[in-house]
Structure 1
Amino acid sequence: MTRPMLAAAGAVAVFALAGCGSGGDDKAAVPETATGSLEHLAAEVKCKPNMQTDADEIRQALCKNTDGRFVLATFATDRGQAEWLSGAKDYGGYYLVGRKWVAVGQEKTVAALQTTLGGSMEEGSEHMNPGGSHNSSGSHHG
């Protein structure tokens, strides 16, 4: 019974290696995705977090480092993170997504954070949700 388990483990290792840094990519290699508390992640990217929300479900802070300003959020559950991202992406912006954490900021800032924290870069909607009362376009119709 150990032989199939070893074969499966070997296949996983080969698959994992095949997906990383195959030659010819324009992008720099992305490190393994960081994990940990908001304070730990902030320390990794050399920022002192300015806490905005400190609740059981989500912890969110404003951060600034040499790469720029960004929001760093950690979540108690994967579901909480998915729900937050679903709503937040309506506002546009760039999102660096890790396991139970998200960093949000300008594209260059988020790309720079990715070189330290890993994760996957996602882009929010290009435009606000039309007709939504939360639009901050500066002109209100009604």
Structure 2
Amino acid sequence: MSQQQPHARSNRRPLSRALGPRAAALAGALVALPLVTACGGGDDATPAAAGRTSTPSRSAAPAAGVVAPAKVEVIAGLTGCKVKIRTEADELREGVCHTKKGDYLITTFPEEKLKETWLESASVYGGKYLVGMRWVVSAKPEMLEPLRAKLGGTVRELRGIGPSTSAS
């Protein structure tokens, strides 16, 4: 399966003009779906939370007090990754980070309401996301807390539709 390379564009066309606002949000969710659901589990020898006895607050800021801005390249830099931009539209920008611990997708939005629309569309698929002001990180659930420690934000679980597939 070959990967398509992103095209450099001098004039960006709004995704909503081509597809409509709901379809644009759905398209954004569909872009994230393969990354979130198809990531294989890579076992790390030393988990990031090893030795901790207390559970950190899910919405606490990182220890350094840094809160990531809504720019894909800056967020990627804070996580130690060189990002590859794969979607660039007026409504959102997405970049993928490939690391030894796993791949993750960084999506940024020019307005908070566009992020909320994207999350509403993604809720159809369920899953956990790291959510900040005008940005979302999609990754394997075990990667979210270490990323939250670097970026801040809140780990948000989206319900999804249909029967639950998780075993208790």
Question: Letter of the aligned partner of 2:158 in structure 1?
Answer: G
Distance 2:125 2:70 in 1: 26
Distance 2:149 2:101 in 1: 11
Question: Letter of the aligned partner of 1:27 in structure 2?
Answer: P
The corresponding residue for 1:68 is 102
State the aligned residue count. Answer: 105
The corresponding residue for 1:26 is 55
Moved more, 51-60 or 72-81: 51-60
Selected match of 2:128 from 84, 89, 94: 94
**1:1-40 equivalences in 2 (<5 Å):** 26-27=55-56, 30-31=61-62, 32=65, 33-40=67-74
Distance 1:78 1:92 in 2: 20
The percentage of counterpart residues that share the same residue type is 31
Query: Which ranges in structure 1 are unaligned for 5 or more consecutive residues?
Result: 1-23, 131-142
Question: Which has the bigger relative contact order, CA under 8 A and spacing at least 6?
Answer: 2
Q: Secondary structure at the match of 2:123?
A: helix
The corresponding residue for 1:77 is 111
Q: Contact (CA 8 Å) 1:45, 1:65: kept in 2 or not? A: no
Task: Give the deviation of 1:76 after TM superposition.
Answer: 0.6
Q: Does the alignment pair 1:47 with 2:105?
A: no
Give the structure with the larger strand fraction: 1
Task: Give the deviation of 1:25 after TM superposition.
Answer: 5.0
Q: Secondary structure at the match of 1:97?
A: strand
Task: Give the deviation of 1:69 after TM superposition.
Answer: 1.2
The corresponding residue for 2:137 is 103
Selected match of 1:56 from 90, 94, 106: 90
Change in CA separation of 1:39 and 1:64 when aligned onto 2, cut-off 3 Å: same
Distance 1:68 1:38 in 2: 18
Q: Does the alignment pair 1:113 with 2:142?
A: no
Distance 1:82 1:64 in 2: 26
- CA deviation profile, 1:54-89 (whole Å, cap 9, x unmatched): 112100112123442111100010110000011112
Structure whose CA Rg is larger:
1
TM-score, with length taken from structure 1: 0.66
Distance 1:82 1:91 in 2: 15
Distance 2:68 2:100 in 1: 19
